[in-house]
A and B are shown apart, each in its own frame.
Chain A
């Protein structure tokens, strides 16, 4: 589904990702771990199409298409979803309005009729139940005055509505208490299907108690320095990142 080959990325002339390779197939869950500043968010942003970052070399294909030929909004409509590490506030725009606009853009792209207000509200209620978020949240402006936990749950709710093929969750777990963490993990698990894939970015092993990854990758200084089964995460937790740094 997603193939990254030899990817190098810079921002303002500074190389952040260097020679990165990654392959994600349908039905898989990948975890990317690594210390702060290792380039995890940058990787997610590049896949999502943020123009702030310059791709120096390498290629990414998604469902057989060259990802660099697609602007960010088209990638989204084709099923790439990014759960933001720091979801931004959009004052005055209700979540309902925001998500209805987003969903209808996607439907238009896929040649489907837009959902009416009533249809959308019904769908929204279903998804709210599914990911277990409070009903009042969706009347509020996008992320405005939300607590850290509310912001992250909102990301999962949006993911539920958009039903992505490839979801990249950037530290959706950080700053959450155990209950919120479970809500987030539950959402991800319920949304898992044969034909979609998830990349969870985290720097704690904790989340992986609830979301069981098929692969764990360790990102360090812009490179994946180690990949392995889920046990790798536990080993990391035990020995710390220094262990890998030294081995490198």
Chain B
């Protein structure tokens, strides 16, 4: 009986393969579940060259052998990877005809963040007038870049137009074997951005300023690759301060950065995915692998991040300081409120001589949230005179939230110096009353105090982003005290 059942089962499932849906590429969505067919379907949908399909399949097969990591200080119900949808075609039609149809709560938040009207429409998925659309802005922007030989396009476009560059660098910093979520992303990634700065070119614009809305819509498995050739410079911004509600709960992105000799890359991001309701229901799970390599001598990469969203954040932007005298920086503000959980930090791997790294991490926990910093500083035997300075501060609001620090230090030679400082503080009743007595209400007071606390990090953000991020911090903590 049992055998017979199995036979039927096999026949049914086996037939899937025979009439494999990957041939039916007119479908807008892959059926739920993740099999080799799903991977083939995605690759076919995107009309990818053979090397991409191979890359994805290799990653998929590896992923199947892996276990989801459990070491992070996070708690969430098991994720069923087989009931998720791994590909849906980009939405062509706007969801709404006018802003009147959009959730008023969302509009109120836009208002508080001071987001311009036309951007609000795009963010909420409302049809935008042709005039207002930033296509024209976008194309002047592109022209300026291409005159200098800078490539800045979607990852899919890069696969088609610059396959050699993609082949050379994709997976070179974050191999598909790196971790569970990286393997998953490598198998099924939807799209993302690609930036290439040629030798000696200083990119004259903050990349992605004009595209931040588009960037916000690239879906659940994003992949970004930035390559800075010798002596080049670029400042790259990703993310969005407006709260993004997304029907996909699981997000697993990869960002790879390569800096060659004397090159400098500044990567800034603001992440504000929907954190879920007050019980944490419906929020986005954000599992991200970001890593940069300072490949050449005297190169420099800095990560600046402001994390306020997601139900769960699992994210450790890391740097491999391979070139001698290369520099790595990590500046982070992570806010958790309500039931949010964040386990975030960085890894600084010093391989080259005289390499330097700085870590400034500012955690803010409110409500019943949990906020953990997890960092590794490692200096190899060859990394003579390596220097690291880490400062990890936690700020607690109320008495139901948690802050945790997990610093790991591995020093491989006698001449390197690693310094770690950590503090935990609370917003005191004295501070709040001082503000109230000057006529500033409770929420204004918390906003001021929190922004003051995070100033060291916020000041590293590009100007325009910094202003938005400040408002975002205040808005994120609304209702957290009193």
Contacts and interface: CB of A to CB of B under 8 A. Distances in A.
Interface in A103-134: 105-106, 109
A74 B109 CA distance: 25
Interface string B436-475: 1111111010001101111110000000000000000000
A162 interface: yes
B453 A72 contact: no
B466 to A, nearest CB: 13
A72 B433 contact: yes
A49 B449 contact: no
Interface string A77-94: 100011010111111110
Contact of A93 (B439, B442, B449): B449
Interface in A137-165: 141, 158, 162
Given A88-B428, A88-B431, A90-B431, A141 B438 contact: no
Contacts of B51: none
A92 B364 CA distance: 15
A101 B440 contact: yes
A161 to B, nearest CB: 10
B399 interface: no
B439 A90 contact: no
A168 to B, nearest CB: 10
B436 A76 contact: yes
Nearest to A72: B436
B50 interface: no
A92 B451 contact: yes
Contacts of A71: 436
A87 B434 contact: yes
Contacts of A92: 451-456
B452 A76 contact: no
Contacts of A81: 437
Contacts of B451: 92-93
A105 B439 contact: yes
Contacts of B453: 91-92
A76 B439 contact: yes
Contact of B448 (A49, A101, A109): A101
B448 A73 contact: no
A53 to B, nearest CB: 11
Contacts of A82: 437
A90 B454 CA distance: 12
Contacts of A72: 433, 436-437
Interface in A37-86: 48-50, 52, 71-73, 76-77, 81-82, 84, 86
Contacts of A50: 433
A209 B441 CA distance: 37
A160 B328 CA distance: 46
B436 A49 contact: yes
A73 B436 contact: yes
A102 interface: yes
B441 A105 contact: yes
Contacts of B147: none
A193 to B, nearest CB: 20
B118 to A, nearest CB: 25
B313 to A, nearest CB: 23
6 smallest beta-carbon distances between A and B, as pairs = A92-B452, A93-B452, A76-B439, A102-B438, A92-B455, A72-B436
B434 A88 contact: yes
A98 interface: yes
A141 B452 contact: yes
B429 interface: yes
Contacts of B108: none
Contacts of B456: 92
Contacts of B428: 88
B100 interface: no
Nearest to B433: A50
Contacts of A99: 438
Nearest to A79: B439
A7 B411 CA distance: 64
A76 B455 CA distance: 27
Contact of A73 (B429, B431, B440, B454): B440
B68 interface: no
Given A87-B434, A88-B434, A93-B448, A109 B429 contact: no
Nearest to B438: A102
B106 to A, nearest CB: 25
Contacts of A88: 428, 430-431, 434
Interface string B209-251: 0000000000000000000000000000000000000000000
Contacts of B439: 73, 76-77, 102, 105-106, 109, 162
A76 B431 contact: no
A90 B448 contact: yes
Given A92-B455, A101-B444, 15 more contacts: A52-B429, A72-B436, A73-B436, A76-B437, A87-B434, A88-B428, A90-B431, A90-B449, A91-B452, A92-B452, A97-B448, A98-B448, A102-B439, A106-B439, A162-B439
B251 to A, nearest CB: 31
A38 B431 CA distance: 24
A86 to B, nearest CB: 8
Contacts of B430: 86, 88
Interface centre among B429, B430, B435, B454 (most CB of A within 10 A): B435
29 contacts: A48-B433, A49-B437, A52-B429, A52-B433, A72-B433, A72-B436, A73-B436, A73-B437, A73-B440, A76-B436, A76-B439, A81-B437, A82-B437, A84-B434, A84-B437, A86-B430, A87-B434, A88-B434, A90-B431, A91-B452, A92-B452, A92-B456, A93-B452, A101-B444, A101-B448, A102-B438, A105-B438, A105-B440, A141-B452
A187 to B, nearest CB: 17
A48 B437 CA distance: 7
